[in-house]
Amino acid sequence: MHLGSAWYPEQWPESRWPRDLELMRETGFTVARITEFAWSRLEPADGVFTLDWVQRVVDLAAQHGVAIVLGTPSAAPPAWLTFAHPEVLPQHEHGHVQGHGARCHYRAGSPVYQSYSNRIAGEMARRFGRHPNVIGWQIDNEYWRMSRDPETTAQFQGWLRRRYGTLDALNAAWSGAYWSQDYFAWDQIEAPNPGANPGLMLAWQQFCSHLYVEFQHGQIQAIRAHAEARQWICHNFHPNDDFDREAIGAELDLVAWDAYIHRTPRFVPGENAHDCDRIRGLKRKNIWIMETQPGTVNWSRLNLHQPQGQMRTMAWQMVGHGADAVLYWQWRSAPGGQEQYHGSVLGQDGEPRPRQVEIARIGADFAKTSALLDGSTPRNQVAILDRWRDRWVLRHQPHHHAFNCVEHAQSYYAPLQRAGVTVDVLDRHLDLMPYRLVIAPHLHLGDDMIAFALHAFVAMGGHVVLGMRSFFKDDENRLAPERQPGPLAELLGGRVRDHYTVEASLSVAGDLGAGRVRSFAEDLETTSPETQVWLRYDPAATAEAGWLANRPAVLHRRVGSGSITYVGAWLDDALADQLIGRVLALARMEGHLRVPVGVEVCARWQGERRILIVVNHTDAAQVVPLPQPMRDHLGDRVSSDQIELAGYGVAVLTTV
């Protein structure tokens, strides 16, 4: 287990470095990430490499017991490069070229920029690829920019030609006959503007992901040519990036996440947990939190500080969801630059800010439990399919201004959390056999492979829950030729007759109880006598909702020892709890512990040994019942039937 931060020694006199490292050790830090924005100090002129200062940093950190992760600096190109080669700068939607002095102001597909990026990565690896204190590498920093310049557009056209082979095939895939959108030459195809053909928009996003895969691949090769195999290579994903993370993560040894409170001003534990599980699901391996906020950020609409104790619960929540390291951004406030107001561990004077005490407590926690947690990982029997491409296309065609994929996925994830059940969140993995229950909140873009995998899963005794809008389109973003759930309709013994947006919430009732649905609702019908109706819409519905009056909203069918359930509406919390409780019972599953509202339980496994991490996200004391005597490794206590957690308290439990 590692605790640390991003550190920028190049911003300060070398005489200051020992003091920084002393304070890091006092805080319990064991690792620091450096150099990811330092290109101008690593190569101040074309081909002139000044790496001696990095050597001194790495050596000094080793003397203080602080391991180093080196970042390749391609996220921040130096001025000599961008002015000598302005063609590497990205072009925005309306033709504006991004000037120097921002961040990620480069074109990922530029051969010139790739050459320079690969060269500096190779020089760094030649120098530090065998240094015992360098444990890993981070490629770039938070991919997020796309360019619409002529060269990238030409690359896009070439990529489409290789993918489709002929324009006839492309026109058929994109329904070119609609609005005369057929193409007659490859160079007629441009980067899409808002409102463009859905097939073109999806292809563009896939192409941009492909560019970053290639951009990253060159740097990985440059590092691997010189680095020892023990040095892993990762990338830290941006909270709001727009790329196919699984494709980008495929060549990496591990994936890292930058965990910020980024959707709302205040921390929402369920969202952060879901994000961590999505990143861990990319490789089904433990992750690093390469950046998280120490108290506050500077870029939100309302930059609130976290309450006292919440940094600790947030750190432990991420450990519970598979993080083997938590690093803060950043170590010390820079005197200049765009993020002067951003939170940090030290103030601009180089002395600890008040939050350093809480972070030091996390360091003490990790020191106490590191041996216990070493080699452990989450191991779950429930999977949620929450795919990048479904989120992307639904964000561009929501059909209702209030339909939000993140919130909709949360409507399934949160009830599992409340039930004390931990999950894997997958993007494209088709190996579902480790699981007993698979939930797909909005499997919008269906294809034969995922349909086959789900069908086989049910046939083997697994339980599947499909949410609304599932199998609505094919993998080219065009309407599927049959009503949803398409290839799984026969297995379900039911299908969707039609779909409706919901201006206000609608009431529903049935075997799951009574409640309300919102945003989007589907009119279902059964085609098999074995299919049960678990919920129906209000029989008295009128006006636009009259089309749904007394119609089925949720269908369920047992298939041997397995089952499939189709949920045609966005259920309220109480109904979602009932639904999840019902399918968990069918799958013969129960939570790790029964916990009060506001308390979360996570599990990591070390062989057959289960380690429970219990986190109180509230500021009030909470009592958690225990099924058997358990030891709390943070509190050095054994409890027989219950454990009390203080406000923002944490316990790490194993059976006695």
pLDDT score at 51: 98
Residue 162 makes CB contacts below 8 A (sequence gap 6+) with none
Beta strands in 310-349 (DSSP E): 323-328
pLDDT digits (tens, 9 = 90+) for 219-268: 999 999 999 999 999 999 988 888 999 999 999 999 999 999 887 888 89
Helix (H/G/I), strand (E/B), else coil: 138:
strand
pTM, whole model, 2 decimals? 0.95
pLDDT digits (tens, 9 = 90+) for 53-106: 999 999 999 999 999 999 999 999 999 999 999 999 999 888 899 888 888 899
Crossing angle for the helix pair 310-320 and 356-373, to the nearest 10 degrees: 20
| Confidence band of 298 (pLDDT split at 50, 70, 90) | confident
Instruction: Answer yes or no: are the C-beta atoms of 372 and 633 closer than 8 Å.
Output: yes
pLDDT score at 647: 97
The burial of 496, by beta-carbon neighbours within 10 Å (0-12 exposed, 13-18 middle, 19 or more buried), is given as buried
Q: Are residues 118 and 217 in the same domain?
A: yes
Domain limit, last residue, from 531, 551, 586: 586
Does the residue 335 lie in any domain?
Answer: yes
Q: Which long-range contacts (CB under 8 A, 24 or more apart) does 540-547 make?
A: 541/506, 541/507, 544/500, 544/503, 545/500, 545/502, 545/506, 547/498, 547/500, 547/523
CA 98, CA 140: separation in Å to the nearest integer?
A: 18
Measuring CA to CA, which residue among 499, 439, 438, 437 is closest to residue 472?
499
pLDDT score at 203: 97
Does the residue 307 lie in any domain?
Answer: yes
Distance of CA 77 to the CA centre of its chain: 26
CA 144, CA 138: separation in Å to the nearest integer?
A: 16
Give the distance between the most distant pair of CA atoms in the chain: 79
- The count of other CB atoms within 10 Å of the CB of residue 482 is 12
Q: Are residues 360 and 451 in the same domain?
A: no
Q: Are residues 282 and 253 in the same domain?
A: yes
Does the residue 633 lie in any domain?
Answer: yes
We report the CATH number of the domain holding residue 558 as 3.40.50.880
Q: Structure tokens of 537? A: 């819409």
pLDDT digits (tens, 9 = 90+) for 175-232: 999 999 999 999 999 999 888 999 999 999 999 999 999 999 999 999 999 999 999 9
Q: Are residues 294 and 362 in the same domain?
A: yes
Distances from the Cα of 536 to the Cαs of 85, 275, 400, 489, 565, in angstroms?
63, 32, 22, 19, 14
Phi-psi region of 3 (alpha: psi -120 to 50; beta: other; left: phi over 0): beta
Q: Structure tokens of 582? A: 């019902």
State what percent of residues in the chain have pLDDT above 90: 88
Q: Structure tokens of 396? A: 């561009």
Instruction: Answer yes or no: are the C-beta atoms of 330 and 344 closer than 8 Å.
Output: yes
pLDDT score at 504: 85
Instruction: Answer yes or no: are the C-beta atoms of 3 and 363 closer than 8 Å.
Output: yes
CA 256, CA 323: separation in Å to the nearest integer?
A: 9
Does the residue 604 lie in any domain?
Answer: yes
Q: Are residues 434 and 505 in the same domain?
A: yes
Q: What is the DSSP string of 535-589?
A: EEE-TT--GGGGGGTT-EEEEEEEETTEEEEEE-EEE-HHHHHHHHHHHHHHTT-
CA 99, CA 409: separation in Å to the nearest integer?
A: 38
pLDDT score at 174: 97
Q: Are residues 349 and 402 in the same domain?
A: no
Q: Are residues 321 and 285 in the same domain?
A: yes
Does the residue 157 lie in any domain?
Answer: no
| Confidence band of 606 (pLDDT split at 50, 70, 90) | very high
Does the residue 158 lie in any domain?
Answer: no
Helix (H/G/I), strand (E/B), else coil: 6:
strand
Least confident range of 115-119, 341-345, 464-468: 341-345
Q: Structure tokens of 320? A: 């519970």
CA 299, CA 316: separation in Å to the nearest integer?
A: 25
Distances from the Cα of 8 to the Cαs of 207, 335, 536, in angstroms?
34, 12, 59
Distances from the Cα of 382 to the Cαs of 226, 397, 435, 604, in angstroms?
41, 29, 5, 14
Q: Are residues 427 and 327 in the same domain?
A: no
Instruction: Answer yes or no: are the C-beta atoms of 43 and 74 closer than 8 Å.
Output: no
Helix (H/G/I), strand (E/B), else coil: 67:
strand
pLDDT digits (tens, 9 = 90+) for 501-542: 998 899 999 999 999 999 999 999 999 999 999 999 999 887
Q: What is the dihedral of CA 516, 472, 429, 287, to 10 degrees?
A: -50
pLDDT reading at 16 higher than 90: yes
We report the CATH number of the domain holding residue 238 as 3.20.20.80
Q: Are residues 368 and 387 in the same domain?
A: no
**Segments forming the whole domain that contains residue 475:** 382-586
Least confident range of 337-341, 443-447, 582-586, 603-607: 337-341
Instruction: Answer yes or no: are the C-beta atoms of 255 and 289 closer than 8 Å.
Output: no
**Could you give the number of structural domains in the chain?**
3
pLDDT score at 239: 82
The better pLDDT of the pair 225, 144 is held by 225
Measuring CA to CA, which residue among 237, 207, 46 is closest to residue 139?
237
pLDDT score at 624: 96
We report the CATH number of the domain holding residue 638 as 2.60.40.1180
pLDDT digits (tens, 9 = 90+) for 379-390: 999 999 999 999
Q: Are residues 237 and 344 in the same domain?
A: yes
Bridge partners, 615 (sequence order): 600, 650
Does the residue 464 lie in any domain?
Answer: yes
Domain limit, last residue, from 562, 586, 610: 586
Q: Are residues 651 and 554 in the same domain?
A: no
Does the residue 74 lie in any domain?
Answer: yes
Bridge partners, 612 (sequence order): 603, 653
pLDDT score at 80: 98
Tokens 């000094």, located at residue: 60
Q: Are residues 234 and 123 in the same domain?
A: yes
Q: What is the DSSP string of 504-526?
A: EEEEEEETTEEEEEEEEEEEEEE
What letter represents residue 576's amino acid? A
Instruction: Answer yes or no: are the C-beta atoms of 622 and 643 closer than 8 Å.
Output: no
